[in-house]
Amino acid sequence: MQDYEKELLADFDSDSDVSLEEEPLVENSTENEAKSGENSTNNHEKTFFTQLSELIASNTVAGSLSAILSEPDISSIEDITVFSKVYPLIPQLKKHIELYSNEETTDFLELLSSIDDSEDQSEEYKFILLVNELSGIINQEIIAYHQLLKTQYKVVFPELETLVLNPIDYARIIAIIKQDLKNIRSYDEQMKAIVSNEKILVIIMAALQQLGQQFVLNDKDMNSIIDCCVILLELYEILQLLSNFITQKLTKFAPNVSAIVGSITTSQLLIATGSLKSLAMTPSCNLASLGIRDLSSKTKSKSRTVRQTGYLYHSEVVKYLPEDIVRSTMRIVSGKVILAARVDLAGSCPDGSIGHTYLEEIRKKIDKLLTPPEHQPDKALPAPVDVKSKKRGGRRFRKMKERFQMSDLRRAQNKMEFGKEEDSVTDSFGEEIGLGMSRTNGGSGRIGEIRVNTNTGARMSKGMVHRLQKHEQSAKIQRIDKGIFDQDFDSILLVNPSSKKSSENKLNGSSSSTIGSKWFTGMSKRKNEDDGGNDKKRQQNSVL
């Protein structure tokens, strides 16, 4: 409760600056009126407007609620009306509302001025803005009087405040039953108009139980309670009047916007942005953040998932939705509100039908968002039938396998003839390798019988063949260019014919020698050198 009050106060604090700025403008407009010649009403008018703006301004400073609550001795005060700042203004307010609501339509110029600039807003528009501020104060005062009423009436019937939570109904019931708990049954019919039958039953039961410990107030005290009730109800009445007035006026100013979000939110948005024009120019993404009470503190926001708890969050369309779709709904609504504001600005749809169609669209979208996801039944598993895997490749794959398969000759070699000695050869490593039936071919006796696989040989790709051919051709051309000597390098090497002979002899001979062999030429060379060196030494020795 206390938190809420503080928030309210804070809210008025933030808005008061706007109203203060507007104050001189109001005076301006009234002065204009004065020029037109209505001197007698002018004074009255001026005082009323200034009173109103002062009231709004002062409210932020004092805070009527806290003033009442901090009052040291409530019972000592004779006239309770002093607490209310709005109460003395009520008759004037009523007069103004009548005055403005009687005007059939704003004339074209007025409409233009309201569109053109926030500086030249019409007087009526000003009044609407002020009245909107006022409704907050009245709400606050109702709460304050309710609090006062509760503290005073507690001695008579303490349970009533918990049974009837609504301050208006509470005041009405007190006005009906006063402190006549004994005959409470007789007020049955009257109470039926206010609360439900079950509630009445509960109230009667509680009242009869209370009867024993009831403290009977004297007439004076009771009268003050009744007065309090009357003030509260009157305040409520003027609030209703004001809200009706605002609704009526706003349907004129912004019929499409108010069709979507309702008159209260519309007025809040208009006040926050300043005018219909600036509302229409506001990007829709900014709309949700209008009217957030405290941007800095995180603790104050009531919702966990939604950060933007502004005017739109508290509007009728969004208020009752579950948290998880609020964000997306606000996005949808703010887009449509801005569109509607533009339509209103153009004045192309004064009956608000576009707003209603927008609202219908929004409702449909909300319905869609609210529908639970469809339950998908379990997908049946496929029957676990083992299908033979398809083999890859056809002719090409077969050829590839043929190339690597065992040849017929090798297969024959692996077989052995029964009861016969196998032919065998010794390979280069000195191992004996059996030839099996490869020679005999199952008794037919000739090797030619077994056909040799032709497709197991090494192959070249077409590209490779092509490349080799090219290479050969180019080599031929080079050879022709270089002449005869390059063709055969060996033919022009000067070789000692005798040594060649000897090496041939040695190769042919049984004794293996390193001379002339391809590999071990280095050794022989060194030997020769050594021999040469020795000769030289010998020569040196002989010289010495």
Task: Work out how close the CB of 385 gets to other proteins at its nearest, in angstroms, rounded to a whole number.
Answer: 6
Smaller CB distance to other proteins: residue 302 or 379? 379
Find the binding residues for other proteins in span 378-417 (CB under 8 A): 378-386
Contact stretch for other proteins (CB under 8 A) within 1-9, 97-105, 309-317, 374-382: 374-382
Smaller CB distance to other proteins: residue 382 or 430? 382
Contact stretch for other proteins (CB under 8 A) within 216-224, 304-312, 377-385, 397-405: 377-385
Contact stretch for other proteins (CB under 8 A) within 37-45, 115-123, 179-187, 372-380: 372-380
Contact stretch for other proteins (CB under 8 A) within 46-54, 273-281, 362-370, 371-379: 371-379
Reference 58, options 133, 3, 7, 127; nearest CA is 133
In a 10 Å sphere around its CB, with 0-12 CB exposed, 13-18 middle and 19+ buried, how is residue 263 labelled? buried
Task: Work out how close the CB of 313 gets to other proteins at its nearest, in angstroms, rounded to a whole number.
Answer: 42
Which positions ≥6 away from 333 have C-beta within 8 Å?
260, 261, 312, 315, 317, 318, 362
Task: Work out how close the CB of 374 gets to other proteins at its nearest, in angstroms, rounded to a whole number.
Answer: 16
Contact stretch for other proteins (CB under 8 A) within 84-92, 261-269, 282-290, 375-383: 375-383
Task: Work out how close the CB of 255 gets to other proteins at its nearest, in angstroms, rounded to a whole number.
Answer: 54
Task: Work out how close the CB of 379 gets to other proteins at its nearest, in angstroms, rounded to a whole number.
Answer: 7
Smaller CB distance to other proteins: residue 380 or 484? 380
CA 251 to CA 258: how far, in whole Å? 6
Smaller CB distance to other proteins: residue 73 or 378? 378
Query: Judged by CB under 8 A, how many residues of this single chain contact other proteins?
Result: 10
Smaller CB distance to other proteins: residue 72 or 384? 384
51 token code pair: 């009173």
509 DSSP assignment: S
Choose, by CB under 8 A, the member of 37, 283, 377, 483 that binds other proteins.
Answer: 377
CA 88 to CA 78: how far, in whole Å? 16
Q: Does 78 engage in binding with other proteins (CB under 8 A)?
A: no
Smaller CB distance to other proteins: residue 385 or 494? 385
CA 474 to CA 459: how far, in whole Å? 23
Smaller CB distance to other proteins: residue 378 or 432? 378
Smaller CB distance to other proteins: residue 298 or 379? 379
Task: Work out how close the CB of 375 gets to other proteins at its nearest, in angstroms, rounded to a whole number.
Answer: 12
Which positions ≥6 away from 442 have C-beta within 8 Å?
412, 415, 417
Helix (H, G, I), strand (E, B) or coil at 311: coil
Contact stretch for other proteins (CB under 8 A) within 104-112, 209-217, 300-308, 376-384: 376-384
Helix (H, G, I), strand (E, B) or coil at 425: strand
Task: Work out how close the CB of 389 gets to other proteins at its nearest, in angstroms, rounded to a whole number.
Answer: 16
Task: Work out how close the CB of 377 gets to other proteins at its nearest, in angstroms, rounded to a whole number.
Answer: 6
Contact stretch for other proteins (CB under 8 A) within 107-115, 118-126, 191-199, 373-381: 373-381
In a 10 Å sphere around its CB, with 0-12 CB exposed, 13-18 middle and 19+ buried, how is residue 183 labelled? exposed
Task: Work out how close the CB of 382 gets to other proteins at its nearest, in angstroms, rounded to a whole number.
Answer: 6
CA 132 to CA 282: how far, in whole Å? 21
The number of angstroms, rounded, from the C-alpha of 504 to the middle of its chain's C-alpha atoms is: 95
Q: Could you tell me the CA-to-CA distances from 374 to 369, 377, 442 in Å, in that order? A: 12, 9, 77
CA 420 to CA 524: how far, in whole Å? 52
Smaller CB distance to other proteins: residue 383 or 425? 383
Smaller CB distance to other proteins: residue 382 or 394? 382
CB atoms within 10 A of CB 454: 8
Which positions ≥6 away from 338 have C-beta within 8 Å?
279, 280, 282, 283, 284, 287
In a 10 Å sphere around its CB, with 0-12 CB exposed, 13-18 middle and 19+ buried, how is residue 91 labelled? exposed
Task: Work out how close the CB of 376 gets to other proteins at its nearest, in angstroms, rounded to a whole number.
Answer: 11
Smaller CB distance to other proteins: residue 376 or 542? 376
Task: Work out how close the CB of 371 gets to other proteins at its nearest, in angstroms, rounded to a whole number.
Answer: 24
Helix (H, G, I), strand (E, B) or coil at 409: helix
Smaller CB distance to other proteins: residue 283 or 384? 384
In a 10 Å sphere around its CB, with 0-12 CB exposed, 13-18 middle and 19+ buried, how is residue 169 labelled? middle
Which positions ≥6 away from 143 have C-beta within 8 Å?
5, 65, 167
Number of residues written out for the chain: 544
Task: Work out how close the CB of 380 gets to other proteins at its nearest, in angstroms, rounded to a whole number.
Answer: 5
Smaller CB distance to other proteins: residue 388 or 459? 388
DSSP assignment of 12-61, as one string? Answer: HHHHHHHHHHHHHHHHHHHHHHHHHT-HHHHHHHHHHHHHHHHHHHHHHH
State the distance between the two ends of the chain, measured CA to CA, in whole angstroms: 134
Task: Work out how close the CB of 384 gets to other proteins at its nearest, in angstroms, rounded to a whole number.
Answer: 4
Smaller CB distance to other proteins: residue 386 or 432? 386
Task: Work out how close the CB of 390 gets to other proteins at its nearest, in angstroms, rounded to a whole number.
Answer: 19
Find the binding residues for other proteins in span 91-130 (CB under 8 A): none
Chain contacts with other proteins (rule: CB under 8 A): 377-386
